[in-house]
Amino acid sequence: MEFQPIPADDIIPDLNTDFENLSTMSSPAPSSFSSISASCNDGGDVNIDPEISSTTSIDCAEKVEPLPLLKSFVPIIEALPGLLLDEDNTYHVGSPLLCGDLKAFTSYARRVEDLVLTDVGREEYPRVSQDTLSRLALIQDPKNPFLSSLRRLQLVDVDSELLYLWLCITPSLETLEVGGIPHTRQISISNFFAELVGSVPRLANVTLGPGRLSAGVLQSSTRFVHLRHLRIIDAAASLNFEFLVAIAALPELELFDIDARTVKYTPHSPPVAVSTDAMAKENEGSPDIEDTTGEILEEAPFPRLKTLTVVSDVLLIHNLLHRLLPRGIEQVSLTLVRGGFLPIPAHWNLIPPSESSEPTADTEILVEGVVHIEHSADATALAPPLTHPLLGSSEQAVDDSLTYVVPYHTFDSWGEMITGNQKGEKEERQTTNEGAAAGTGTPRGAATPRGTTAATRGNTARRTAATRC
């Protein structure tokens, strides 16, 4: 059959008729990933078609219905076009990721507000290839990420799901909860927190633990300047006073909850300095105000704190109460943890003024024994009350509702204060009682011999009157 050419006039009307169908054709592959990122994320590429740009802006401005809590990132991946599931139960994308084909994916991702990354129940979902995640990370614009509505992110008992971690950085994030991170993933979490510091201006709630976290994560948590609620639940192996000072400097913190029952705490140690009249006169006109912490503080600690909850040993509680805690706290809950030998810092000066200036024989107090000492039935067997510089005046009411005996006040209501050698005191009480019963020994009401310990009923006050001494 001989080929007959078709006149051009007959071709042009056909093209005009089918012009509206050209938009359905696949677009050619772009020259680089940067152009994809710009067109998919409202970038500033001058080559973007104005009609496409305006349409994308309208889509971003539309209010979308949020999705229920997602317990995996896989449902978001399943919205990708051209997704294939291979024989290893792993998703991968075999075709190019084009911006025109990602509309369904981005629309679904924008509806995610609450996401949990966890390995619990991980077998319910297929795995996702690393190649697919890398390609998504390349085309995501940090200023307009895929999860642009994400408000709450939970990283709980997670290992393999951390592959999606870097797709979860978004300025909309308000709440972050991290716990149960394996040791092999601590560096990833630490780097993630360091990246978040400059990327999440709305972050207001952070919960760390339960489960140990690295020092880098803990330090980064003190750099979120808009933080309002901070909870640290058995998340550190060791802490020091400087870490508490950094938390106290958070300008908007309203709630601080710390459970440090297993933490090795290093308390505040004031610098040793020689005070002379000449030095006092020299520093008399200095504008700087030095706090009792021994450090010059620019602002008052915990300026907006309303709720404080502490579970720890007496050292951490003491530092918070007497070094950092301001007046006006609405709710204070303190729980003293017992166990082990508790070293008492030398600068606490537990020896009463009436006793010898010689140091006591024991420099450690067995907390387990202290808290089980009961109040003596005969109050006259105790030495008269002493006024401690950290406690109020002797006219304050004594709270007898507590049966515990601990160094300093460490409860919601202040209890009884013990000074000196606890073991010696216990033996002395036993000797005194036996001697009184036999008609020998030290009579009741007699003064305590010099060199032995003195159990003093401290001047006490309720929490609202003595949050800071």
Written as tens digits, the pLDDT of the chain (469 aa) is 454 555 545 544 444 444 444 344 433 344 343 444 444 554 444 344 433 333 333 344 456 789 999 999 999 999 999 899 999 999 999 888 877 778 899 999 999 999 999 999 888 899 999 999 999 998 888 889 999 999 999 999 999 999 999 999 999 999 999 999 999 999 999 999 999 999 999 999 999 999 999 999 999 999 999 999 999 999 999 999 999 999 999 999 999 999 999 999 999 887 655 454 545 445 454 333 334 444 545 678 999 999 999 999 999 999 998 899 887 888 999 999 876 555 666 666 555 444 444 443 333 333 333 333 233 333 333 333 333 333 333 343 434 443 333 333 343 433 333 333 444 444 444 444 444 444 444 444 444 443 333 333 333 333 333 333 3
Q: Based on the domain organization, do 331 and 355 belong to the same domain?
A: no
In a domain, 169, yes or no: no
C-alpha distance from residue 190 to each of 165, 208, 367, 410 (Å): 12, 12, 35, 34
Q: Based on the domain organization, do 325 and 360 belong to the same domain?
A: no
Q: What does the alpha-carbon distance between residue 245 and residue 320 come to, in Å, rounded to a whole number? A: 9
In a domain, 163, yes or no: no
Q: What does the alpha-carbon distance between residue 127 and residue 86 come to, in Å, rounded to a whole number? A: 10
What pLDDT, on a 0 to 100 scale, did the predictor assign at position 372? 31
Q: Based on the domain organization, do 181 and 326 belong to the same domain?
A: yes
What pLDDT, on a 0 to 100 scale, did the predictor assign at position 205? 99
Contact 304, 450 (CB under 8 A): no
Q: How many other C-beta atoms lie within 10 A of the C-beta of residue 3?
A: 5
Cis status of the peptide bond prior to 210, with omega within 30 of 0: yes
Q: Based on the domain organization, do 179 and 324 belong to the same domain?
A: yes
In a domain, 320, yes or no: yes
Q: Based on the domain organization, do 426 and 450 belong to the same domain?
A: yes
**Segments forming the whole domain that contains residue 55:** 33-109+123-148
| Final residue before a domain boundary, out of 133, 148, 163 | 148
Is 338 in a helix, a strand, or coil?
coil
H-helix or E-strand spanning residue 109: helix 103-109
| Final residue before a domain boundary, out of 311, 337, 363 | 337
Q: Based on the domain organization, do 373 and 306 belong to the same domain?
A: no
Domain count within the chain:
3
What pLDDT, on a 0 to 100 scale, did the predictor assign at position 347? 61
Is 152 in a helix, a strand, or coil?
strand
| Final residue before a domain boundary, out of 337, 364, 391 | 337
Q: Based on the domain organization, do 200 and 317 belong to the same domain?
A: yes
Q: Could you tell me the two tokens for 60?
A: 């971003």
- Nearest CA to 30 among 143, 187, 138, 153? 138
Q: Based on the domain organization, do 205 and 321 belong to the same domain?
A: yes
Sign of CA dihedral 278, 279, 285, 291: negative
In a domain, 118, yes or no: no
In a domain, 314, yes or no: yes
255: Cβ–Cβ under 8 A, 6 or more apart, which residues? Answer: 228, 229, 230, 231, 305, 306, 307, 308
Contact 327, 468 (CB under 8 A): yes
DSSP codes of every residue in 46-68? TTS-HHHHHHHHHHHHS--PPPP
Q: Based on the domain organization, do 224 and 326 belong to the same domain?
A: yes
Instruction: Go through 109-130 and write b for each residue having 16 or more CB atoms within 10 A of its CB, e for each that does not.
Output: bbbbbbbbbbbeebeebebbbe
In a domain, 362, yes or no: yes
Q: Based on the domain organization, do 263 and 357 belong to the same domain?
A: no
Q: Based on the domain organization, do 97 and 178 belong to the same domain?
A: no
Q: Based on the domain organization, do 304 and 211 belong to the same domain?
A: yes
Residue recorded with tokens 């400087």: 242
In a domain, 189, yes or no: yes
In a domain, 233, yes or no: yes
